[in-house]
C-alpha cells in the first residue's frame, strides 16, 4: 500500500490548547466557581451574615469556625444584640472557603498554561490577570470585614469580583475560539480586530455589558446604603412619581439604570441574532440574553412583591451577574468567532493521508 500526504516520520505537532481537556475544565470551573462565589456573597449579604466571622482570615481566631451557639456567644465581642447564629457563621465561612478553592483552581490553570501552552499568550495573560485579581478580591474581602462592612468597600469588592468573572469568561473563550484568518474587511477595535459587518453589534454588546455592570453595582450600593427596601412597590416608588427622600432617589436611580440596561441588552441580543456568518454558540448567547433579562426583570419585581424575601434578593444579584457574563460572552465571541475545535477537526481531516492499493 502506497501513501501520499504527510510522512509518517514527521514530528508530531504540538498539542492544541483546545485538546487540553483538563485545562478547559479548570477554566470552566473558574467561571462557575466565580458565579457561585458572587451568588453566595449575595446570600451572605441578604441574610445579614457578613459578621458571621468577625475577624479575617480566621473565624473567631480559628481556621475551623465554631458552629454551636454557646461557643459563638462566648467568643463574640461585639454588640449583644448582634450575636451571629450558627447559620450566619456557616454562610460566611462557606463564602470564604469557596473563594479559596476558586483561587486554587485558577492557580492550577495558570501553571498549566505557562508550562504547556506558553505560546497562547492571550489565554495565559488573561488567566494570570484573573489570578492576581482574585488575590486582591480576597484581601479586600478581609478589609470589608475589618472595616464594619463599609458600603464603598463592599461595592468595590463586588465590582472586582465581577471583573474576575469577566476575565474568566474571556480566558475560556480565548482558549476555545480564535480569530478567523480570512475575516475579510475588518478593522481594529479596543481588543483585537473585528469584521466590519459585525462592528456595530459589537459596540452595542459592549455598551450593554457596561450598563449591566453599572446597574448591578448600583443595586448593591443601594442595599448597602439601606435603600434596597425603601420602595415597596414596583415599578414606581409608592404613589409618587418623584421620590421624596434621598434613599428613595438612590433606589429609583438603580431602577432607571436597570431599565437602560434592559433596553441595551435586548438591542444587543437582537443585533447579534441577525448577524450573518455567526456560530451557534454566539446565537445561543444572543437568545439567552433576552431570556435572562426578562427573568432578571421579574426577579427584580419579585423583591417588593415578596416583601424583599431572601430568595428574591439573592436571586436578583445572581441573575444580574449571569446577564453581565452573557454580555461579556457576546463581545468575546464576536471578536473570536471561530471554534478551535471545529478548525482543528478540519485541519485533521485535510491532513489525512490518501491511500491507494
- For the cut 50, the answer to whether the pLDDT of residue 350 exceeds it is no
Task: Return the percentage of the chain with pLDDT > 70, whole number.
Answer: 85
C-alpha to C-alpha distance for 200 and 330, rounded to whole angstroms: 13
Q: Which of 131, 163, 178 corresponds to the end of one domain?
A: 178
125 and 147 inside one domain: yes
- For the cut 90, the answer to whether the pLDDT of residue 329 exceeds it is yes
User: What does the pLDDT look like over 90-149, one tens digit per residue?
Assistant: 999 999 999 999 999 999 999 999 999 998 999 999 999 999 999 999 888 877 766 665
Tell which wins on pLDDT, 151 or 331.
331
251 and 320 inside one domain: yes
Structural domain containing residue 53 = 16-71+82-178
Q: Which of 120, 146, 178 corresponds to the end of one domain?
A: 178
215 and 173 inside one domain: no
152 and 195 inside one domain: no
Task: Return the percentage of the chain with pLDDT > 90, whole number.
Answer: 42
pTM of this prediction exceeds 0.95: no
Is 2 a member of any domain?
A: no
260 and 118 inside one domain: no
111 and 195 inside one domain: no
pLDDT at 90: 94
What are the C-alpha distances in Å from 54 to residues 177, 202, 253, 327?
44, 44, 32, 36
pLDDT at 104: 96
170 and 209 inside one domain: no
C-alpha to C-alpha distance for 219 and 229, rounded to whole angstroms: 11
What ranges in 274-339 are assigned the alpha helix state H? 280-305, 310-335
Which of 60-64, 218-222, 259-263 has the least mean pLDDT?
A: 218-222
C-alpha to C-alpha distance for 314 and 44, rounded to whole angstroms: 9
C-alpha to C-alpha distance for 322 and 41, rounded to whole angstroms: 14
Question: Minimal CA–CA distance to 44: which of 93, 98, 9, 10?
Answer: 93
- For the cut 90, the answer to whether the pLDDT of residue 301 exceeds it is no
262 and 174 inside one domain: no
User: What does the pLDDT look like over 14-65, one tens digit per residue?
Assistant: 567 878 899 999 999 999 999 999 988 888 888 888 888 888 888 998 999 9
Is 306 a member of any domain?
A: yes
With cut-offs at 50, 70 and 90, classify the pLDDT of residue 286: very high
Amino acid at each position: 500500500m502506497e501513501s501520499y500526504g504527510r510522512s509518517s516520520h514527521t514530528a508530531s505537532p504540538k498539542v492544541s490548547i483546545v485538546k487540553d481537556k483538563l485545562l478547559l475544565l479548570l477554566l470552566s470551573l473558574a467561571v462557575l466557581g466565580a458565579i457561585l462565589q458572587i451568588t453566595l456573597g449575595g446570600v451572605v449579604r441578604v441574610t445579614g451574615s457578613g459578621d458571621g466571622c468577625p475577624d479575617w482570615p480566621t473565624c473567631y481566631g480559628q481556621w475551623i469556625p465554631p458552629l454551636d451557639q454557646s461557643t459563638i456567644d462566648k467568643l463574640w465581642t461585639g454588640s449583644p444584640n448582634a450575636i451571629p447564629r450558627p447559620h450566619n457563621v456557616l454562610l460566611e465561612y462557606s463564602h470564604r472557603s469557596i473563594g479559596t478553592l476558586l483561587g486554587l483552581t485558577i492557580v492550577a490553570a495558570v501553571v498549566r498554561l505557562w508550562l504547556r501552552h506558553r505560546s497562547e499568550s492571550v489565554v495565559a495573560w488573561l488567566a494570570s490577570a484573573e489570578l492576581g485579581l482574585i488575590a486582591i478580591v480576597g484581601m479586600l474581602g478581609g478589609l470589608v470585614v475589618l472595616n464594619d462592612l463599609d458600603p464603598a468597600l463592599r461595592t468595590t469588592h463586588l465590582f472586582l469580583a465581577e471583573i474576575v468573572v469577566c476575565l474568566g469568561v474571556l480566558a475560556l473563550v480565548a482558549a476555545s475560539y480564535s480569530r478567523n484568518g480570512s475575516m475579510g474587511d475588518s478593522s481594529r477595535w479596543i481588543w483585537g480586530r473585528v469584521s466590519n459587518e459585525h462592528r456595530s453589534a459589537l459596540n452595542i454588546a459592549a455598551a450593554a455589558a457596561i450598563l449591566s455592570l453599572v446597574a448591578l453595582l448600583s443595586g448593591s450600593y443601594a442595599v448597602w446604603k439601606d435603600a434596597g427596601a425603601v420602595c415597596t412597590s414596583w415599578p414606581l416608588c409608592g404613589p409618587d412619581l418623584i421620590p421624596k427622600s434621598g434613599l428613595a432617589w438612590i433606589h429609583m436611580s438603580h431602577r432607571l439604570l436597570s431599565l437602560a440596561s434592559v433596553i441595551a441588552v435586548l438591542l444587543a441580543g437582537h443585533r447579534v441574532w441577525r448577524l450573518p456568518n455567526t456560530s451557534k454558540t454566539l446565537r445561543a448567547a444572543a437568545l439567552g440574553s433576552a431570556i435572562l433579562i426578562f427573568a432578571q426583570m421579574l426577579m427584580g419585581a419579585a423583591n417588593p412583591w415578596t416583601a424583599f424575601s431572601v430568595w428574591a434578593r439573592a436571586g436578583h444579584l445572581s441573575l444580574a451577574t449571569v446577564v453581565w457574563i452573557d454580555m461579556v460572552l457576546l463581545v468575546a465571541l464576536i471578536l473570536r468567532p471561530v471554534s478551535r475545535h471545529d478548525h482543528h477537526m478540519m485541519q485533521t481531516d485535510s491532513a489525512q493521508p490518501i491511500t491507494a492499493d
